[in-house]
Amino acid sequence: MANSLKPAQQYWRANLKLLAICLTVWFVVSFGAGILAADFFNQWRLGGYPLGFWFAQQGSIYTFVGLIFFYAWQMNKLDQKFQQGE
């Protein structure tokens, strides 16, 4: 079915898939590790703070910044694959 789609539709579909992956990772780290599993992670410490607290306060931010670079890198590859100009 993917071959029957126009290149613009394939490009958009790939973009949405990448975006969904990035948002899922961010959700798991920020909500999952920082809130839902915080009590479990709090048995360890990082930099003097409980690990669950660290995930909620710092880890989700670091993950988000890393995901920005990952998304830009992957979008550049996608642009080259579908011959999209800047």
Give per-residue pLDDT as tens, 24-83: 999 998 888 888 999 999 999 988 999 988 888 888 899 999 999 999 999 999 999 988
Beta bridge mates, 50: 45
Q: Assess contact for 85 and 11: CB atoms under 8 A.
A: no
pTM of the model: 0.78
Rounded Cα distance between 36 and 27, Å, is 11
